[in-house]
Chains A and B, each alone.
Chain A
Amino acid sequence: MVRRALGLGRGLAALLPDIAGSQGEGGAGSMVNLTGELANELATNESGLAIIYRALDALVAAHDLEDAAIVIDEPNLGRQVFRAGRRVLDEDDEALLAAPAGLYTEPPLADDDLDRSMITSVCVLALRMDVLRYDAWHDPLTGLDDRRSFDRLLEMAVARSTRYGWSFALVMIDVDLLKTINDTFGHAAGDLALRDLSDRMMHTLRYGDNAARIGGDEFAMILPNTDADAVAPLLERIRATPGLRGEAPEFSFGVAVCPSEADTVQTLFELADGRLREHKLARKAQR
């Protein structure tokens, strides 16, 4: 258990990181290889978390450890604890949540290898890379995909659809009267309306669907294997699902289906956007 590696029973002084860069069975040479591989993965791997778990699992394997965990202080996330094998923490490991940042192993390894800082640094950078990537692809207000992410997803969806004939629906959504909400109740109320709608979307959409905020009050959804007729009931479910406030904000929408109605990103987008504007005007006329 990691608890012993934490130094429980040995006093707080022993809590200094027991990094796995020791004279273990594999020797210093294998550690050089490990950190080299990790650095290479850092440059090429899509997932920072995958690098962290790979580092921990590799340490366990290289030194025949029972367990390994790393505690990282990341400014945007706060303290984060990762355990080898992506395993859950058990009660004996809870002390890790309050332990100093560093790498812990069971059994503890000697503290005389420079690879300690290398592995820790790689893991910190890997986590930070995930934070930056996430921020780059997501809308900070709603947590949905942002416009850049949506454009990429739509391009891929259209490419797959035209190549393999896989159908999907593009749904454009525009929140009604957002400016009025902002002017009347303040921007906090407007933000709440946007977050409320996005939360209902997240709760309602299927695994594999995508939702994005692509403008101030504009959202878009990519719904694989969805006919135009199925969109209105889905939007009703979005309205009906519990959100952050009592009633869902009113919205207008437009739908276009790929590849039957349009088979390029531009034509599909224009078609859905045109239908959105028609619907919005019709709703405006009713008010």
Chain B
Amino acid sequence: MTLDDLEFELRKLPGVRAAGFDDRGDVLMVQLHLAPEGGHGEELELPMPVAATRIAARHSDKPVAVEVVRWRQAPAPTTEPVAVGAQATVTPISPAIGSDAGPAATAGSVATIPDTAAAEPERGVRPRLLAVLSFPDTDEVEVHLVLHGRRTIGRAAASGGLVAVVAATLEAIRGFGVELTVRPMWARPVEGDEPEHILVAVGIDVDDDDRQLFGLSGGTSAIDAGARATLDALNRHLARSVAATR
């Protein structure tokens, strides 16, 4: 199977208009752009990232991170440069792929681009979560973030559990040049009514002012929810820190 086969099958998913690839050696990054008007894949029986990830897993012999960009506002050409919100909320997934592969050898994410006006106050401040990858063979967990078009990866020992996901997320954030004087305290799943909806809560210690930050987020896997909860905990703290670095 070839990259052409993979790309073609991805483009067959309803609403997909463009696909881009970035081979990073250890991970193949795939970005899908969905039609701005209708055809967003709602007719799929599986969520778009799940469907795309399953296709990617069949066509690639290396881990694949799929990002689905779903534009709420049609970026129709105008006489002025197109302005779209750089801020995005991300819902990554990390399903296990392969009959003999470890869990989360492939991951995907979906990015939702909000309307420009709504996003303006904190535009560009928050990193987007692109993917959370787990590599059982090497006992590593990777958190991929993107901010202003720049990608960073944070790593930690996967055997550290959810706290390791928090640590990897913090390392990825520091990759943007943000000085964070925080450290992970705890992270644990929260039981909900629906077993398929995974919630994770995290606690983060702020070194310099003896405060604690807490975050809660859902996700399609525990590691996914853990990374998102970390970003949730750091929201305001991060906005100030990023602003200070710019």
Chain B residues contacting A6 (CB-CB under 8 Å) are 77
Residue of A nearest to B61 (CB): A207
Q: Report Cα–Cα, A211/B57, bound state, in Å.
A: 14
- B7 beta carbon closer than 8 Å to chain A: yes
- A63 beta carbon closer than 8 Å to chain B: no
Q: A81-B17, A88-B31, A205-B58 are in contact. Are A15 and B7 (CB under 8 A)?
A: no
Whether the pair A88, B22 counts as a contact (CB closer than 8 A) is yes
Q: A9-B80, A88-B31 are in contact. Are A98 and B21 (CB under 8 A)?
A: no
Whether the pair B58, A97 counts as a contact (CB closer than 8 A) is no
Whether the pair A208, B61 counts as a contact (CB closer than 8 A) is yes
Whether the pair B20, A88 counts as a contact (CB closer than 8 A) is yes
Q: Mark A144-173, 1 if CB is under 8 A from B, else 0.
A: 000000000000000000000000000000
Whether the pair A97, B75 counts as a contact (CB closer than 8 A) is yes
Q: Report Cα–Cα, A96/B97, bound state, in Å.
A: 33
Whether the pair A203, B57 counts as a contact (CB closer than 8 A) is yes
| A188 CB, nearest partner CB in chain B, Å | 12
Contact of A134 among B8, B78, B101 (CB under 8 A): B8
Residue of A nearest to B86 (CB): A91
Contact of B82 among A3, A134, A203, A204 (CB under 8 A): A3
Residue of B nearest to A195 (CB): B45
Contact of A207 among B4, B46, B57 (CB under 8 A): B57
Chain A residues contacting B12 (CB-CB under 8 Å) are 77, 134
| A250 CB, nearest partner CB in chain B, Å | 20
- A49 beta carbon closer than 8 Å to chain B: yes
Q: A88-B31, A94-B84, A199-B46 are in contact. Are A206 and B4 (CB under 8 A)?
A: no
- A114 beta carbon closer than 8 Å to chain B: no
Q: Mark A92-125, 1 if CB is under 8 A from B, else 0.
A: 1011111100000000000000000000000000
Chain A residues contacting B86 (CB-CB under 8 Å) are 91
Chain B residues contacting A15 (CB-CB under 8 Å) are 77
Chain B residues contacting A204 (CB-CB under 8 Å) are 98-99
Whether the pair B31, A89 counts as a contact (CB closer than 8 A) is yes
Interface residues on A, range: 35 or more
Whether the pair A89, B33 counts as a contact (CB closer than 8 A) is yes
- A237 beta carbon closer than 8 Å to chain B: yes
Q: Report Cα–Cα, A39/B35, bound state, in Å.
A: 30
Chain A residues contacting B75 (CB-CB under 8 Å) are 94-95, 97-98
Chain A residues contacting B194 (CB-CB under 8 Å) are none
Whether the pair A82, B18 counts as a contact (CB closer than 8 A) is yes
Whether the pair B60, A207 counts as a contact (CB closer than 8 A) is yes
Q: A78-B17, A86-B21, A203-B54 are in contact. Are A95 and B61 (CB under 8 A)?
A: no
Q: A78-B17, A130-B8, A202-B58 are in contact. Are A91 and B84 (CB under 8 A)?
A: yes
Q: Report Cα–Cα, A206/B105, bound state, in Å.
A: 11
- B108 beta carbon closer than 8 Å to chain A: no
Whether the pair B79, A11 counts as a contact (CB closer than 8 A) is yes
Residue of A nearest to B95 (CB): A203
- A8 beta carbon closer than 8 Å to chain B: yes
- A283 beta carbon closer than 8 Å to chain B: no
Whether the pair B76, A98 counts as a contact (CB closer than 8 A) is yes
Chain B residues contacting A206 (CB-CB under 8 Å) are 98-101
Interface residues of B in 52-96 (CB under 8 A from A): 54-55, 57-61, 71, 74-82, 84, 86, 95
Q: Report Cα–Cα, A50/B9, bound state, in Å.
A: 14
Contact of A9 among B17, B18, B31, B79 (CB under 8 A): B79
Chain A residues contacting B61 (CB-CB under 8 Å) are 207-208
Chain B residues contacting A10 (CB-CB under 8 Å) are 79
Contact of A50 among B4, B45, B78, B81 (CB under 8 A): B4
Residue of B nearest to A130 (CB): B8
Interface residues of B in 26-49 (CB under 8 A from A): 29, 31, 33, 35-36, 39, 45-46
Q: Report Cα–Cα, A10/B74, bound state, in Å.
A: 19
- B149 beta carbon closer than 8 Å to chain A: yes
Chain A residues contacting B2 (CB-CB under 8 Å) are 47
Whether the pair A8, B76 counts as a contact (CB closer than 8 A) is no
- A182 beta carbon closer than 8 Å to chain B: no
| B18 CB, nearest partner CB in chain A, Å | 4
Chain B residues contacting A9 (CB-CB under 8 Å) are 79-81
Whether the pair A80, B81 counts as a contact (CB closer than 8 A) is no
The 21 listed contacts between A and B (C-beta, < 8 Å) are: A3-B82, A8-B81, A10-B79, A47-B4, A77-B12, A78-B35, A79-B17, A79-B35, A81-B18, A86-B3, A88-B20, A92-B81, A98-B77, A134-B8, A134-B9, A199-B45, A202-B55, A203-B57, A203-B95, A205-B99, A244-B46
18 more A-B residue pairs beyond the given contacts A7-B77, A12-B77, with a C-beta to C-beta distance below 8 A? A8-B80, A48-B4, A49-B8, A77-B11, A78-B39, A79-B17, A87-B21, A88-B20, A88-B21, A89-B20, A89-B33, A95-B75, A95-B82, A96-B18, A97-B71, A98-B76, A208-B61, A237-B99
**3 nearest A-B residue pairs (beta carbon):** A88-B20, A94-B75, A81-B18
